[in-house]
Amino acid sequence: MTKNPRTSRTARILLPAAVAGVLLTGCAQADEAPAAGPGPTATTPSARAATVTPPPTTVTPSPAAGTARAGTGPAVGTLLVSDFGSDTVTFVDPARGATGSVKVGTAPYGLALGEDGRAWVATAEGVAVVDTDTRRRLALVPYRTDTGPVTTGEYRGGGMGIALSPDGKRVYVGVTVPGGNGTLEVIDTASVEVVGAVEVGRRPFDVDVSRDGSAVYATNHDSFDVTVVDAGSLAARRVEVAPYGTEGGLGSWLKPHYTAVRPSDGKLLLPFEGERLAVVDPATGRVEIEDMTADTHQHGATVTADGTLFAVGTGPIDPSEDRGPSLTVRTPEGRERVYPLDGPHEDVAVSKDGRTAYVTGGFTRDGYWDGISVVDLASGEVKRLAAGSRPLGVVVL
């Protein structure tokens, strides 16, 4: 294990006990107030037994929403973003901006895209199924889990992370239950029904699937862990991922957010604070730590087929010592290039040719803006593009 020289960060970021005691969840709770975004065209350089719930719930069909474009389909390279500040997903041309939206449900978070063109969207109300060709919502699959009243904002209940199995037959969605542990719900993509559920940790920000589809990983922000779930039996076990420790509990900022599955060996990559990369072996639970260089609070992460890791830096915890928002691009050998960004961001997707990164400005906390940063990875040029309403999740069609 590599030791990071900055051992004082834990002490610096913990909130006072009186404040931490009233936190519901999260990095540190903030008021949900919309933030004015910059202009759209500016350019800047413990083991758990599986809990299987009762029989599947019924799919709630949806009336058509959005504008039908039967037979045309979106252009290759079009982006689809989830509008966390609204009830829609928005189609975005990377060169021109938004080209249309579809109503999906309250406060959509994560997105997963199937080879058949259907997008699966985790909302506060259920998982929406969107035909990206006709731009219509086909169905809304309600959760089995009781998440309380439908609300908006960072601490709402409902779906967060979401992923498809490699064969496209199952969708896995992390469902947040305010004040308690969440669940991982399993949807059969043929019947469009929930067919199973298992308890995971608190606030499953991200969900990922192993290369062979045999395991599912729920990254649980507020319990400092990843739940490893057997895709067949739904047996679950907890792996703690806390390179700074768990001191501070709900008042700590130093929690896992998003995970990327390394293609070469199936290990899990979780960036922390632009300082430490937790490399988790999901089979053994062993966690190794590697150094990172961005020195900023990190959220979204993805990895390309060649093993290149992309990690979104949202900005400093302590402005006197930490750096601002950025995108880190890390090679499989550990070399990093850090691209400065203007303002907080949340998640990232990469173009099919690997030349461009798209970083959403939605952010789960205040400071968000209604757009995407388009990063030219060769030149380092960053262009801001107006897109959606607090765009959070993003996929490339």
pLDDT digits (tens, 9 = 90+) for 110-160: 999 999 999 999 999 999 999 999 999 999 999 999 999 999 999 999 999
Report whether CATH 2.130.10.10 matches the domain 44-396. Answer: yes
Of 153, 79, 132, nearest in space to 386 by CA: 79
Q: What is the mean pLDDT of residues 62-72?
A: 40
Contact 187, 57 (CB under 8 A): no
> What is the pLDDT, as a whole number, of residue 189?
98
The whole-chain average pLDDT of the chain stands at 87
* Confidence label for 70 from pLDDT (cuts 50, 70 and 90): very low
> What is the pLDDT, as a whole number, of residue 204?
98
For the chain, domain boundaries = 44-396
Is pLDDT above 60 for 38?
A: no
* Confidence label for 376 from pLDDT (cuts 50, 70 and 90): very high
> What is the pLDDT, as a whole number, of residue 75?
77
> What is the pLDDT, as a whole number, of residue 54?
38
Handedness of CA 71, 104, 159, 110 (dihedral sign): positive
Is pLDDT above 50 for 171?
A: yes
Q: What is the mean pLDDT of residues 304-317?
A: 97
> What is the pLDDT, as a whole number, of residue 4?
40
> What is the pLDDT, as a whole number, of residue 288?
98
Is pLDDT above 70 for 47?
A: no
Q: What is the mean pLDDT of residues 337-360?
A: 97
HEC string of the chain equals: CCCCCCCCHHHHHCCCHHHHCCCCCCCCCCCCCCCCCCCCCCECCCCECCCCCCCCCCCEECCCCCCCCCCCCCCCCCEEEEECCCCEEEEEECCCEEEEEEECCCCCCCEEECCCCEEEEECCCEEEEEECCCCEEEEEEECCCCCCCCCCCCCCCEEEEEEECCCCCEEEEEEECCCCCCEEEEEECCCCEEEEEEECCCCEEEEEECCCCCEEEEEEHHHCEEEEEECCCCCEEEEECCCCCCCCHHHCCCCCCCCEECCCCCCEEEEECCCEEEEECCCCCCEEEEECCCCCEEEEEEECCCCCEEEEEEECCCCCCCCCCEEEEECCCCCEEEEECCCCCCCEEECCCCCEEEEECCCCCCCCCCEEEEEECCCCCEEEEECCCCEEEEEEC
Q: What is the mean pLDDT of residues 63-70?
A: 38
Is pLDDT above 60 for 208?
A: yes
